[in-house]
Homo-oligomer: A and B are copies of this chain.
Amino acid sequence: MSRVLDGGAAAAAFPLGGIGTGNVSVGARGELRDWELANAPDKGASLPFTFFAIRVAADNREAVTRVLEGKLRPPHEGDQGYDAGRLAGLPRLAGSAMRGEYPLLRVELGDPVLGVEVALSAFTPFVPLDADASGLPGAVLRYTVKNTSDEAADVTVVGSMANPVGIVRRNVFNFPEFEGHPRNEWVDDGLLRGIRFGTDLDEGDLRFGSAALSTTDADVTAKPQWLSGFWQDGVQVFWDDLRADGRLDVEDVESLDPPPHPDWFTRLRVGSLGIVARLEPGAERDFEFLLTWHFPNRARAWQGNIGLDNAGAGDVVRNHYATRFADAWAVARHLAAELPELEGATRAFHRALHGGTLPTEVVDAAAANLAALRSTTCFRLEGGVFAAWEGSFDHAGSCEGTCTHVWNYAQSMAFLFPELERSARTTEFLHETREDGRMNFRANSVFGNAAWDFHPAVDGQLGAVVRLYREWRFGGGDEWLARLFPGAKRALDFAFTEWDADGDGVLDSKQHNTYDIEFFGPNSLANSMFVAALHAGARMAAHLGEDAVADRYRAAATHCAERMDALLYNGEYYEQRIDDVNEHRYQYGRGCLSDQLLGQQLAHIVGLGHVLPADHVRSAIGAVSRYNFREDLSEHHSVQRTYALGDEAGLLLCTWPHGGRPRIPFVYCDEVWTGIEYQVATHLIYEGLAEEGLRIVRAVRERHDGRRRSPWNEAECGNHYARSLASWGPVLALSGVDYDAPSATLTVRPRLDATVMRSVFTTGRGWGEVEVGPGGAALALHGGSLDLARLVVEHPSLGRLEATGVSLRAGDAFPLTAPAPTTPPEEK
């Protein structure tokens, strides 16, 4: 998506950082914002005096020094104006233009006064199928400067940064206060030089950590530690020093305030690293910085708002990344040493995703929400265990426990980092499924704390079975499946006893679900998921040789599908069957529920095909689109949370086109959730209603245009909400790529109404680009390996092509040419 945002796009924040590492974001003016490095969300958190600046001294002209950001835009309010740390009183640049195509960001920064053009390129390596390579706590910040004047110029680009280690709070002046004493240290190890930001805290302290601002560039100038003091002597001296000659002096004292300093004396320690170069007219040069961090320790407990047992909160557990790197400097060394390879893979993925032929809104949605995977919502503990919140409140995680019914919708991680989804399934089926089959839908075992005691969630629990099938089918392996399948059987069998009160094979009792309430009576959210789970269970059972189990599940699936269809299909869509819709609060009755076929959607994605009557399914998902999608919400009356409003478009969770709305319907019914919008869009595409699906995707992304909301943050109950990872669904559905590891088959059946389909594709061990067009098909493998027994391509212009025994390694391409035309020449 090539949307360009100017400095007025105040909501835009492009997050840097890897999986499970926390983030710092770049705003539309090119500024660093939202410092969330230390294992917790902290939207809006600033680091004082942390910014990049440029000094340009062209021969025969007065030197110009500017903050490397677009100018500040109104509103300019603040209880002390802009606090001193913001440096709002320094001159900035006239214009900025941000283009974020996740995982790559580019911000052009311009001002005629400079005599040079500057562009910031920023990214954190992103390599499909490699969670470690995609999990580096750091980023590359590369300022490319081109001398557009007719005079040679001496250029300094300098990054300044406050030591972020040990921050416990911010005072009324918005200055951080610290536990321990931050320490700045100059390091030059031959490969890298720069500032290591450390602390005197103990290594086991929750707030222990480090950060580094470094460069491989040899031509540096630095002030590793500004003067500190009661007042802001440091910044005045720094700025004057920079302006004077573009070279920084090392301070010979820590502070001009005479010691001894009282305990409350500021511990803020700022340092600056500059790169200097002379640019001839027309010359261009990169000024490249590495920003890395390392906050190894988390509290060994969720400490979330749901209130799971937090017994381990006094202990710490390390982040996975902390087991790979000793500190932030080690991260920087790794990043510098591996940069060509890491950047190459990142750019290849970027090209494969953004350079294909899928509609821009689909690519935009899929790419932008990958940021959620690398936000504070997700993390990895030592040992590699994956865990996640539902989302991130501004200053705390939202709703703990890798919630099964929210992660039910997510597809991006399954198809890009399948090992992480496997970790979640392992937790669910080995540690959170009780003997009786009830699954704790929020996992507390990841911290070793006591299991959560609450209703089971029908959609989450059954969805987990389908997702186990998805992960196994994508390459999880038989050994892994065999370990988890006993738990999956218990979880599936639990449905019969817990949720089918009358034993008719259709779930109908009190059913807790993703709307945080309980449905009563037969409904197709639960039952479509039950049918899908039964089919998935049957396939896994059959593969493991448990034929009786497979037969039983298959029969139950067929029976449930038939009976559910008979009970719930109203000739147009699937309803909830309940005698008095107001007997219990929070039901939907005759409503048209957007999620009514969530199980069928999931069945499509995992290759189960239609598990309900195809004509009814098509009609029902069409009704969802017709009734629940609104081009304009100005006349919509919702007293619930609000994610779309006014003249915005969006898909409502439920409507009552034929009346029957309960007095108090379920508590989110009038809301618009991007995760559900994506799952419905995906389903529409699978059913051949691509235009209806794309309309929904466009609506979501138009709501996230940088002015209304950030393009890289789709919120629900929290920022970077996990359900938004449903946004990979339309890529799967449109590209029609389906990988079945057990049979080593890759199938490509594009559902895109275009002559040529070119898209990224992933399998369990390899990823690349696929192109299908009139002349044939081609695979290009960019990473990993691909060993196929069978490759099948179907496309209207091609018919069906097939190849067997395809084996590719990264860098290989494989063409599958269409047979020579058999059309007689005279018809041409």
Contact = CB atoms under 8 A, between A and B. Distances in A.
Contact of A84 (B237, B639, B710): B639
Contact of A640 (B75, B84, B717): B84
A614 interface: no
Contacts of A90: 637-639
A455 to B, nearest CB: 14
A397 to B, nearest CB: 10
Contacts of A82: 641-643, 645
A543 interface: no
Given A84-B639, A84-B641, A239-B637, A586 B77 contact: no
A256 B667 CA distance: 14
Contact of A10 (B75, B87, B637, B664): B75
A172 B393 contact: yes
A305 interface: yes
Given A664-B236, A667-B232, A715 B637 contact: no
A639 B235 contact: yes
Nearest to A396: B172
A713 B77 contact: yes
Given A10-B75, A81-B715, A236-B663, 13 more contacts: A65-B637, A71-B634, A72-B645, A74-B707, A79-B393, A79-B715, A80-B398, A80-B716, A80-B718, A84-B641, A172-B398, A232-B640, A236-B639
B76 A232 contact: no
A635 interface: yes
Contact of A80 (B86, B240, B670, B715): B715
Given A82-B641, A256-B585, A635 B91 contact: yes
Interface residues of A, number: 74
A637 B63 CA distance: 14
B717 A80 contact: yes
A365 to B, nearest CB: 17
Q: Which 8 pairs between the two chains have the least Cβ-Cβ distance?
A: A89-B638, A88-B642, A81-B643, A82-B642, A89-B642, A74-B708, A11-B75, A235-B639
A392 to B, nearest CB: 7
A585 B586 CA distance: 68
25 contacts: A71-B646, A75-B707, A76-B642, A76-B709, A77-B709, A77-B710, A79-B392, A79-B393, A79-B394, A79-B715, A80-B641, A81-B642, A82-B643, A83-B641, A84-B641, A88-B645, A89-B639, A89-B645, A172-B305, A172-B398, A232-B639, A235-B639, A236-B664, A243-B637, A256-B664
Contact of A398 (B76, B79, B235, B641): B79
* Residue from the set A171, A305, A642 with the largest chain B CB neighbour count within 10 Å: A642
A43 interface: yes
